């Protein structure tokens, strides 16, 4: 094998490994993290898709990339579902990620409470909540004592957070203590472990 062929193999492996460990990144995020030219990343992603190692999903104006097979899967079993890809895509965005972490802790919260804890404008929260409701990630209750927002599948969100630990996590520094609580709380951890094995 020639040096150019070896370099191409290493480049493609680096891109695949990043997609495998951080599913849901878009092209520019992959390019920034690996420090490669965007055209080079695009070329290798195309090759990985052609060879059915990576899949591309269009979300909110971006093509986000996922491994064609979930980590720890046996052959073609246990791939990431379309909903899991949607959730992971949202986790790559700072505000939706903060919303999910907060709703994991509160289970259900009114619009005002979420705004106060996230320190964001009501219009900003409304914009992101509408996206998350459309994506069936968050459920909005508009009447009764439980008026507010809650996660549609709390267990799945906790599992994905623990398995993939979205990066860069410095964007959610304000929630570091909450994150530690979630990843060490016995009942929550046991639920996730039972569902998907010991997290990394």
What is the DSSP track for 101-169?
Answer: HHHHHHSSB-HHHHHHHHT--HHHHHHHHHHHHHTTSEEEE-SSTT-EEEES-HHHHHHHHHHH--S-G
Q: Are residues 16 and 99 in the same domain?
A: no
Q: Are residues 61 and 28 in the same domain?
A: yes
Q: Does residue 77 lie within any of the structural domains?
A: no
Q: Are residues 116 and 192 in the same domain?
A: yes
Q: Are residues 146 and 181 in the same domain?
A: yes
**Structural domain containing residue 17:** 3-69
94 φψ region: left (φ > 0), alpha (ψ -120 to 50), beta (else): alpha
Number of domains in the chain: 2
Q: Does residue 45 lie within any of the structural domains?
A: yes
Q: What is the pLDDT of residue 155?
A: 83
Which pTM was predicted?
0.62
Give burial (CB, 10 Å; 0-12/13-18/19+) of 84.
buried
Q: Does residue 138 lie within any of the structural domains?
A: yes
Residues 6+ apart with CB under 8 A from 157: 87, 100, 104, 137, 151
Q: Which is nearest to 114 in space by CA: 150, 75, 85?
A: 150
Q: Does residue 74 lie within any of the structural domains?
A: no
Q: Are residues 55 and 111 in the same domain?
A: no
Q: Does residue 85 lie within any of the structural domains?
A: no
Q: How far is CA 45 from CA 8, 25, 93, 159, in A?
A: 12, 12, 21, 27
Q: Are residues 185 and 133 in the same domain?
A: yes
Q: What is the pLDDT of residue 1?
A: 45
Q: Does residue 46 lie within any of the structural domains?
A: yes
> 99 and 140 in contact (C-beta within 8 Å)?
no
Give burial (CB, 10 Å; 0-12/13-18/19+) of 142.
exposed
Q: Are residues 56 and 111 in the same domain?
A: no
Q: How far is CA 19 from CA 4, 41, 147, 153, 190, in A?
A: 23, 12, 38, 24, 27
Q: Does residue 114 lie within any of the structural domains?
A: yes
Q: Are residues 14 and 52 in the same domain?
A: yes
Q: Are residues 100 and 64 in the same domain?
A: no
CATH number, domain with residue 35: 1.10.10.10
Q: Are residues 158 and 107 in the same domain?
A: yes
Q: What is the pLDDT of residue 13?
A: 86
Q: What is the pLDDT of residue 179?
A: 53
Which residues of the chain are modeled with pLDDT < 70? 1-8, 69-79, 146, 165-200
Q: Does residue 158 lie within any of the structural domains?
A: yes
Q: Are residues 188 and 110 in the same domain?
A: yes
Q: Are residues 116 and 167 in the same domain?
A: yes
Q: What is the pLDDT of residue 4?
A: 55
């Amino acid at each position: 094998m020639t040096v150019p062929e070896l370099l191409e193999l290493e480049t493609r492996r680096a891109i695949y490994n990043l997609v495998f460990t951080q599913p849901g990144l878009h092209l520019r995020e992959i390019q920034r993290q690996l420090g490669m030219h965007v055209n080079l990343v695009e070329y290798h992603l195309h090759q990985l898709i052609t060879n059915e190692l990576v899949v591309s999903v269009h979300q909110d104006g971006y093509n986000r990339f996922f491994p064609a097979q979930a980590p720890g899967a046996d052959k073609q079993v246990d791939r990431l579902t379309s909903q899991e890809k949607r959730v992971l895509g949202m986790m790559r965005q700072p505000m939706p990620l903060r919303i999910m972490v907060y709703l994991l802790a509160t289970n259900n919260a009114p619009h005002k409470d979420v705004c106060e804890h996230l320190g964001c404008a009501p219009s900003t929260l409304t914009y992101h909540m509408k996206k998350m409701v459309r994506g069936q990630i968050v459920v909005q209750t508009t009447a009764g004592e439980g008026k507010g927002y809650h996660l549609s599948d709390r267990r799945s969100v906790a599992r994905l957070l623990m398995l993939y630990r979205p990066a860069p996590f410095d964007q959610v520094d304000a929630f570091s203590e909450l994150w530690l609580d979630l990843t060490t709380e016995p009942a929550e951890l046991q639920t996730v472990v039972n569902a998907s094995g010991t997290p990394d």
